[in-house]
Amino acid sequence: MAASNIPADLLYTADHEYLRLADDGTASVGITDFAQGELGDIVFVELPPVGTAVAAHATFGTIEAVKAVSDLKAPVSGEVVEINPRLDAEPALVNTDPYGDGWLIRIRVADPAARDGLLGAADYATAIGA
């Protein structure tokens, strides 16, 4: 199995989502390189409309790979302020660039302290046995 890419500047969940915090109080959410590798070829991503309130650890969408549909879980609570417009036509971006063009949603984080419950890169690497 190829080694998973785990950027040091992101936060992670045990459900294999990542959170990229921005200075303006928003954060991008996506699935990790490990997750996309486990899922296989992504064929569809279903995301909530802008304005939707998402709750930490609750399902905010689904992602379909060739073999299975899986839930997408929010790392923290907040409001969806943007969804990745390219994924409807190019779901494979989640496979090819999960931390870049394959991001899923951007949320306005409800409570900045909530990040304290997330994993750093080293802890996430341990969690997936990397």
Residues that bind another protein (CB under 8 A): 40-41, 43-44, 46, 59, 62, 64-71, 89-92
Two tokens, residue 100: 């870049």
Q: What is each CA distance from 96 to 10, 56, 63, 99, in whole angstroms?
A: 18, 26, 15, 9
- From the centroid of its chain, how far is CA 86? 15
Element (H, E) at 62: strand 59-65
CB of 73 to another protein, least distance (A): 10
Residue owning tokens 């302290």: 113
CB of 5 or CB of 62, closer to another protein? 62
How far apart are CB 108 and another protein at their closest, in Å? 26
CB closer to another protein out of 2 and 89: 89
Pairing state between β 26-31 and 42-46: unpaired
Least separation in angstroms between CB 9 and another protein: 29
CB of 59 or CB of 77, closer to another protein: 59
Nearer to another protein, 10 or 42 (CB): 42
- In whole angstroms, the minimum distance from the beta carbon of 100 to another protein comes to 19
Tokens 């302020």, located at residue: 81
